[in-house]
Amino acid sequence: MAQGGAAARGTAKVQDQGWAWMVLVAAVVLQGLTLGFPSCIGVFFTDLQHEFQATNSETSWFPSIMVAVLHAGGPLCSILVKRFGCRFAVMMGGLLSSVGMVSSSFCKSLSQLYLTAGLITGLGSCFSFQAGVTALGYYFVRWRTLANAMASTGVSIGLTLWPLLSQYLLDEMGWRNTFLIFGGILLNCCVCGAVMRPVKFALGSLLQFSSTGEEPGRRAEEAQLSNGASSPHLKLQEQTRKITCFQVLQNYLAFDIFCQNKRYQIYTIGVTWMMMGFVLPHVYLVPYAIQNGLEERRAALLISIIGFINIFIRPLTGLLSGQTIFTGRRIYLYSLAVLLCGLSNFICVISAEFSMLIFYCVILSIAMSGIGALTFQVLMDVVEMDRFSSALGLFTILESITLLIGPPLTGLLVDITSDFRYVFYTSSFFLISASLFMVLSFCALEKKNKLRDTSKVPPDKSTIYNETPNESQSESQPTLAVVHITSI
């Protein structure tokens, strides 16, 4: 007991103070390097088209693959973190990202670019980002919420700086040399990973970051085994536990929750549908502005404006959504942000003047801040925390599918019509319809639950939209699972 208490005090010295703040700085840099990076791809859109004589649809596959892999690689990152730890995963991700961008500078076709910058760099960014967030959760307990909020500012900083740097390097040395330099910049993910040294548990052993699929019961069994319990029954359980395809799906892709929890089902479908239109302005805003006579530097500045406003609005949105007045109502605040994002696209259609496009970017950034701050908080409200990680795995896989096919399909529409305004019409359609679907569906479920309460019929636990137990339960969880957080 004395040794356990001393080890616990040693762990407390590491968490929430000292080296933990260096890890926080590394997490900010990581999010800027990984999640902020895809924002600059639109700057190269026109040059890549001319270089490879490609259509809008063919060119848009490049950023689509990168963003989709960045979201869908979460379960694979979980396995890597569990096997080798967060530091290794972050550094491996940085190496992959660098190799992908360096290789892309020598590409002679778009298909090669899909593989190098799309698949390899996207996967590397996924490893670095998600493993970094996991490590941050272990270094902070008391100030975990504040640490995550501060780390998320790295995304906004990346959104601000990457487009400006990209346009400058593109003007000075072309896209191939720019991609080569980007490969060197992304190697800094390895430096951030080196900062994230393992901490210790109260038992004195090096921290082994838990995977997404570990359930409380399994962790309890492993704790019993580590305490010296060697009964034949426990040994038999340990020997007969084998990794099967079904178990992997159950751990990382919780289809049972999707089938049983109506609120999770509605929310997942709504967000997946929304992603078809959410990413379109990021890909096509710069080409749209250039087509309408705007200088390339001013067109790239538009994306930076979105990122700069995000730095200030996203934390404020997070604080606002945490107020008691929004308890149980965050889904409606989220739907309002999605609706505003969809309506803002009509500003871009009305006029392509620089002043009007700046106004559009301001409104879009405000709406994006609400979506980014609330996406995973709402998911925590509708899913029990002990199954949150596995539910999030399925959530990110499904949204990555629409992130992958959305820009190319819209690019095909632009190729047919030769009018970039259809990009914003399409984006508005998906965003507005998703917002209305979620609001109406949640209202119908709440009305159904009220009727059940009136008739004194016990409600189905899988459809209760009650955030208080989830929040208290999340605070009582000492071990943080690998959380797949995306670039929303």
Three-state secondary structure of the chain? CHHHHHHHHHHHHHCCCCHHHHHHHHHHHHHHHHCCHHHHHHHHHHHHHHHHCCCHHHHHHHHHHHHHHHHHCHHHHHHHHHHHCHHHHHHHHHHHHHHHHHHHCCCCCHHHHHHHHHHHHHHHHHHHHHHHHHHHHHHCCCCHHHHHHHHHHHHHHHHHHHHHHHHHHHHHHHHHHHHHHHHHHHCHHHHHHHHCCCCECCCCCECCCCCCCCCHHHHHHHHHHHCCCCCHHHHHHHHHCCCCHHHHHHHHCCHHHHHHCHHHHHHHHHHHHHHHHHCHHHHHHHHHHHHCCCCHHHHHHHHHHHHHHHHHHHHHHHHHHCCHHHCCCHHHHHHHHHHHHHHHHHHHHHCCCHHHHHHHHHHHHHHHHHHHHHHHHHHHHHCCHHHHHHHHHHHHHHHHHHHHHHHHHHHHHHHHHCCCHHHHHHHHHHHHHHHHHHHHHHHHHHHHHHHHHHCCCCCCHHHCCCHHHHHHHHHHCCCCCCCCCCCC
Residue 90 in this model has a pLDDT that exceeds 60: yes
- Residue position matching structure tokens 């590397």: 124
**CA atoms of 279 and 192, how far apart (whole Å):** 28
- Evaluate if residue 476 carries a pLDDT over 90: no
Span 65-75, average pLDDT: 88
Lowest mean pLDDT among 24-38, 137-151, 333-347: 137-151
User: Does the pLDDT of residue 141 top 90, yes or no?
Assistant: no
The predicted pLDDT at position 464 comes to 45
pLDDT-based confidence at residue 236 (cuts at 50, 70, 90): very low
Asked if residues 276 and 402 have their Cβ atoms less than 8 Å apart, the reply is yes
Tally of residues, the chain: 488
Is the predicted pLDDT of residue 117 greater than 70, yes or no? yes
Rounded Cα distance between 274 and 429, Å, is: 9
The structure tokens 């159904």 sit at 448
299 vs 393, higher pLDDT: 299
Residue (of 199, 86, 79, 224) closest to 141 by Cα position = 199
Q: Nearest CA to 204 among 14, 335, 39?
A: 14
Could you tell me if 381 and 467 are in contact, meaning their C-beta atoms sit under 8 angstroms apart?
Answer: yes
With bands split at pLDDT 50, 70 and 90, how would you rate the model's confidence at 138? confident
Strand-pair partners of 206:
200
Contact yes or no for 126/77 (Cβ under 8 A): yes
Nearest to 442 by CA among 486, 395, 381: 381
Say what the pLDDT of residue 10 is.
Answer: 45
- Averaged pLDDT of the chain: 80
pLDDT band at 252; cut points 50, 70, 90: low
- Assess contact for 96 and 121: CB atoms under 8 A: yes
Q: Is the pLDDT score of 202 beyond 60?
A: no
pLDDT higher than threshold 70 for residue 15: yes
Tell me the angle at which helices 86-104 and 144-186 cross, rounded to the nearest 10 degrees.
Answer: 40
Which pLDDT score is estimated for 458? 55
Q: Which residue has the higher pLDDT, 478 or 406?
A: 406
Give the pLDDT confidence score for residue 338 in this predicted structure: 96
The answer to whether 96 touches 123, Cβ cutoff 8 Å, is yes
Query: What pLDDT, on a 0 to 100 scale, did the predictor assign at position 426?
Result: 95
Does the structure show a pLDDT above 90 at 48?
yes
Encode pLDDT of 155-197 as tens digits.
889 989 999 999 999 999 999 999 999 999 999 999 999 998 8
- Residue 294, pLDDT above cutoff 60: yes
**Both tokens of residue 137?**
């959760």
Supply 485's token pair.
């957080």
Instruction: Say what the pLDDT of residue 487 is.
Output: 52
Least-confidence region, from 188-197, 207-216, 407-416 = 207-216
Q: How confident is the model at residue 39 (pLDDT cuts 50, 70, 90)?
A: confident
| Predicted local confidence at residue 329, as pLDDT | 81
Q: What percent of the chain has pLDDT over 90?
A: 44
- The yes-or-no verdict on residue 119 having pLDDT over 80 is yes
- Residue 249, pLDDT score: 62
Res. 228: pLDDT tops 60: no
User: Residue 4 pLDDT > 60, yes or no?
Assistant: no
What value does the mean pLDDT take over residues 279-308?
90
pLDDT for 347: 93
> What is the pLDDT averaged over residues 190-219?
58
Residue whose tokens read 């430096």:
191
Two tokens, residue 76:
């694979």
Report the pLDDT value the prediction gives residue 268, as an integer from 0 to 100: 93
Contact at 8 Å (CB) between 16 and 143?
yes
| Matching residue, tokens 């609001």 | 439
Rounded average pLDDT over 424-430: 95
Pick from 149-153, 236-240, 351-355, 397-401: least confident: 236-240
pLDDT of 258 over the 70 cut:
yes
User: Residue 132: pLDDT above 90?
Assistant: no
